[in-house]
Amino acid sequence: MIIEKAPAKINLALHVRARRTDGYHEIETLFAFLTHGDEVRLAPGDAGLTIEGPFASGLAGEGDNLITRAVRLFSQEFELSDEVSVVLQKNLPIASGIGGGSADAAATLRALAGLHRIAVDDRRLIACAEALGSDVPACLLGRSAIGTGRGERLVPLDGLAGTPVLLVNPGIAVSTATVFGAWDKVDRGPIGDGALLDRARNGRNDLEAPARAVAPVIGDVLDRLALHADPVLVRMSGSGATCFALYETELERSHAATAIRAGHPGWWCLESTLA
């Protein structure tokens, strides 16, 4: 059996520049990954996909998802059998802006590559990732990077590994298509240069305003994160509804998490660290 982590992804900044003729959007984004996330366990066999974990019910009855598509694409690209047994430990909320499904697909591709002794930088494997979705190539890379194009053109970055981070989701799923559809089509400019944290702090998430219109509780989450322990950065990730805060110390992160859990016991909180 091969075990692959599927780390949560956050967007330290997300600038939407234009709507493309292919239906996607031209973006610039700063990807970062956490030390926590889902887990994929894969072995030869024909048992298909089994989903476990606290958020397994959100994927029940799907029949086809990014993991099964990843297996199918991989088998077609490399002309190998698609008879594998996959167990997904689903620890991250569904449709939450932290790349759960994309990370699961990328972890599946890495596991399949490991099973068949294929290099993770094999161009065919990267092509599979690009075909599966805009965030999957970044999740396959699995490290901080700036993404352009649809987000699939990646340049690795360093600078924030070990930074304490708190993720908070108010318990709602937000449709990425709906949020992108509500974007006001105003290009507010590129991500600047400099150190990674400076680029993040001087940046923004252009999807925050449309996401807050769809789910006003996102504003409450952002306000709560800004209220406690003097965070270094507070922002919504992706198209929402998960928001995050970066801290200088683990103690500050813990104090903020304790306060938010006490005030909003129904919200999902994850204390983690940037990888």
Q: Which of 9, 90, 104, 206 is catalytic?
A: 9
pLDDT at 60: 79
Q: Within the chain, which residues score under 50 in pLDDT?
A: none
SS3 string of the chain? Answer: CEEEEEEEEEEEEEEEEEECCCCCEEEEEEEEEEEEEEEEEEEECCCEEEEECCCHHHHCCCCCCHHHHHHHHHHHHHCCCCCEEEEEECCCCCCCCCCHHHHHHHHHHHHHHHHCCCCCCCHHHHHHHHHHCCCHHHHHHCCCEEEECCCCEEEECCCCCCCEEEEEECCCCCCHHHHHHCCCCCCCCCCCCCCHHHHHHCCCECCHHHHHHHCCHHHHHHHHHHHCCCCCEEEECCCCCCEEEECCCHHHHHHHHHHHHHHCCCCEEEEEEEC
pLDDT at 133: 95
Q: Give catalytic status of residue 135 as yes or no.
A: yes
pLDDT at 64: 85
- 131-166: per-residue pLDDT in tens? 999 999 999 999 999 999 999 999 999 999 999 999
- Residue ranges and CATH numbers for the domains of the chain are 2-156 (3.30.230.10), 164-273 (3.30.70.890)
State pTM to two decimals: 0.96
Q: Which of 38, 90, 104, 135 is catalytic?
A: 135
